[in-house]
A and B are shown apart, each in its own frame.
Chain A
């Protein structure tokens, strides 16, 4: 009887751990995994196969704080004619005809109390890949850097950039 109880307790313990991992899995999938986009936009095809430069679409990366995601019209300069038979492109055309902007799911987001500027980093010649990884190989956009304060500061130290609190917290 006592033996049975102990064995049950042992299995219950492992059961609890499995439930915890299941919970972590669900949490990760909902909040941390690369989000599904309204249109499966493949960077890989456009950057590596078609050979487009990042700036062709993210044209504000060297001009402002935000790199910004391109408007639908930028896509349509090609997709009025290219691959119009694909379901994803038909969705895209749908947005364009109805003049609706596409609600891209945000992959990178710093808290509001942090000041970050793409322009400053572009000026210093920091490559997009340093912070966003091998975008040209991604079929689905994902975040490859933690975007934590420790990460920003490590790099600033390496490049002798400012690590003063006020640089990033205004």
Chain B
């Protein structure tokens, strides 16, 4: 997978921050839509089949309404259903630069499946006229499309779970291992349809009752039906989701946990309570038209779910992120050093004295041992070899086992030259005086 690594620069701090922000935003938008598309297709197909057994105009009408709403427009599906997948793949590759490309790979592998799934669902939507003639030809693309999307999201969600579990990365050496069973992966997969029902239920309540086509509301019996299905789905999903939130917290690897993750989950459950209360209200008070409140609450909950996942991911890779950042820092320093080398810095004894006082004097004196050995012992070998002294200061190596190793000082090359000049000059002057 080297090509992904080559595509992506060693990230700088700003770079990573932007990548993370984009990742959360893209995932939220994508999962909000996908949740709705999958939920709407599932319920549409289900009601469609039920209607076949026990014909009921409401069921039929609602099944068509759902799929029309879910696959509302090809352009929209393209931009929120398909485009985010390669974008997210790139962002994960960026975040996990040089660790594991499995998560990014999962999104890439799932991409053609998602495209195929949507094509099939559009076919299902378009074949409504075929329903009476050949029910099977009408239903099959829908079922197949949903099946393909299910497989695609199993792969994607496995990849997302894996991004929070660095311990497993080295052991995934073939595609079969990728699907290694883990409870955490399982909950993320089972949570997906539940979240899809919540989004679908609340979206139906919102779109049906607030979309500017007032005439729909005239059919009171149908409106009541829509209200029950929408409210019921939302309430049910809100009631089940907290179990998954807790289960997720229990099964996440320890590295992915942090106090802020628990805090986010508490807010998340409080929001779910809020949405559940509202959905219950919509079910039991038929006089009031459901507004946008439930839908917005559910969307915010979904966003928080993604934020929680993202916090877990960042906890899991935080040490690696620091490594990346310091690599970027080093690369920047190297670039600066090259620029300096192109226009050689002139060291000065005065600057050398400053550096000595600020840095070296912590551990060294000329005439006595502090942490490091006295200069009067170590400098004689460098008289006339200033370049060797500079090389040692730049890249200290252990010389005398009686002392702790000298640290890397991170001086600029001009400073190294200055301090070497200062040390040799001071030493020779001092030596001269003693004689």
Contacts and interface: CB of A to CB of B under 8 A. Distances in A.
Which range contains the number of A residues in contact with the other chain? 35 or more
Contacts of A17: 242-243, 245-246, 269
A110 interface: no
Interface in B388-435: 396, 403-405, 407-408, 410
B10 to A, nearest CB: 15
B266 A18 contact: yes
Contacts of B272: 14
B319 A134 contact: yes
A151 B169 CA distance: 11
B254 interface: yes
B12 to A, nearest CB: 16
A14 B276 contact: yes
Which range contains the number of B residues in contact with the other chain? 35 or more
Interface string B312-341: 000000011011001000000000000000
A22 interface: yes
A6 B319 contact: no
A169 to B, nearest CB: 21
B53 to A, nearest CB: 32
Interface stretch (B19-27, B120-128, B200-208, B257-265): B257-265
Contact of B257 (A14, A22, A28, A158): A28
B379 interface: no
A113 interface: no
Contacts of B257: 28, 32-33
Nearest to A142: B255
B370 interface: yes
15 contacts: A3-B284, A7-B277, A10-B277, A21-B266, A22-B262, A25-B262, A25-B266, A32-B254, A78-B363, A81-B363, A137-B326, A138-B319, A138-B322, A143-B254, A146-B254
A-B interface, 5 closest residue pairs, ranked by CB to CB distance from nearest: A14-B273, A137-B322, A25-B262, A50-B407, A134-B319
Given A137-B319, A146-B253, 19 more contacts: A10-B273, A10-B276, A20-B246, A21-B262, A24-B246, A24-B249, A25-B263, A25-B266, A28-B262, A50-B407, A51-B408, A80-B370, A81-B363, A134-B320, A137-B320, A138-B319, A144-B255, A145-B167, A154-B171
